[in-house]
A and B are shown apart, each in its own frame.
Chain A
C-alpha cells in the first residue's frame, strides 16, 4: 500500500502533469493547423476587440440569450466551474500539499468552506447527470463520451470528500483520490473536457465573426 501511495503521489503526479501540459499544447497546435488549412481566411478576421467583447460578455451570468434560456443550467454551470477551480487550487488540504511539496505559502479557503463547495460540485454533477437522463432533447445527443467525461470529473470529488471525512480506510481513500485526480488532469486534453482549452478560442472566433464580419452581437 505504501509503495502504491509513493508511486501515485510521486512519479505519477509528474506524468499526469506532463500529459496535461504537453497534451494541451498538442491539441491547441493541431487545432490551429487544422483551422488554418480549412478556414484560413477567418484567421484574417480575428479581432482582439471583438474576441474580448464576446468572452467577457459570456463570463457574466444571464447577460446573453444563451444564459437566459435555461436559468437552472446557467446557475449550475457557473457554480460548478467556479467551485471546481476553487477546490482544485485553493482547498486548504491541497494548499498543504503545495506547501509540503514545493514550499509554496499561499492563501487557502477556510476548511469548512472548502468542504461545502466540494458538495456544491458534486450536486452540480448530479444535476448535469439528471439533465442528460431526463430531458429528451439532451438525452438524444448524449453519447458515452459525455458520461465518461462527467465520471472523470466527479470521481476526485467523491473520493476527496470520503477521504476528508475519514470514511473508509484513510490511506486507500487518499490513494484513490489522488489517482482519480491525476486521471482527470491527464485526460482533460483528450476528452470532452478539452472545452477547457478551446472555449476561449471558440468564443473569440464567434465574437470576431459576428463583430467584425456581420457587424452584430453574438449574444
Chain B
C-alpha cells in the first residue's frame, strides 16, 4: 500500500528529472567546455579533431562579436553579418556534401579558421598545428 503511493509520487519526479537531464545534456558539452571542433558530422574522420577551446580562443583572439564566425543567412541565401547564428551548427547550413551549391563543411572550416590566422599573422595555419596527434 505504502509502496504504491511512493511510486506514484516518485514516478512523476523521476520523469521530471529525466527530462531535465536530457534537456541539460547539450549544455554539458556547450562551447564553454569545447576543446576541439566536433568531427561528428564527418562519417569517417581521417585526421585528429582540430584544437579549439571555444571561449579561451575567442578571449585570446579578442573576438567579442559572435557573428564573425556564426554568421547567418539572408533571404537571398547570402552571408548575413547582422544576425548571429550562434547555437546553430555550421553543418546546418554547410553540409559535408551540399547539393545546393553551399560551401561544404570542411571547406567552410578551413576557409574561416585559416584565412583569419593567415591575415592576423597569428594562430595555426599548417595542418599539423590544428589536427594535432
Interface size bracket, B side? 20 to 34
Q: Are A6 and B118 in contact (CB under 8 A)?
A: yes
Judged by a CB distance under 8 angstroms, whether A44 is at the interface is no
Which of B2-10, B65-73, B74-82, B123-131 lies at the interface?
B123-131
Within 8 A of A (CB), among B94-133: 104, 106-107, 110-111, 114, 117-118, 121-122, 124-129, 132-133
Name A residues whose Cβ lies closer than 8 Å to a Cβ of B: 2-3, 5-6, 9, 92-93, 96, 99-100, 103, 105, 111, 163-164, 166, 170-171, 173-175
A-B contact count (CB 8 A): 53
Residues of chain B within 8 A (CB-CB) of A3 are 121
- Closest residue on chain B to residue A111 by CB atoms: B46
- Closest residue on chain A to residue B125 by CB atoms: A5
Told that A93-B127, A105-B104, A164-B128 touch, could you supply 15 new A-B pairs with CB distance under 8 A? A2-B121, A2-B122, A9-B125, A99-B107, A100-B107, A100-B114, A103-B107, A163-B128, A166-B128, A170-B129, A171-B125, A173-B126, A173-B128, A174-B126, A174-B127
Question: In the assembled complex, how far is the CB of residue B11 from the closest CB belonging to chain A, in whole angstroms?
Answer: 51
Residues of chain A within 8 A (CB-CB) of B133 are 166
Q: Are A100 and B111 in contact (CB under 8 A)?
A: yes
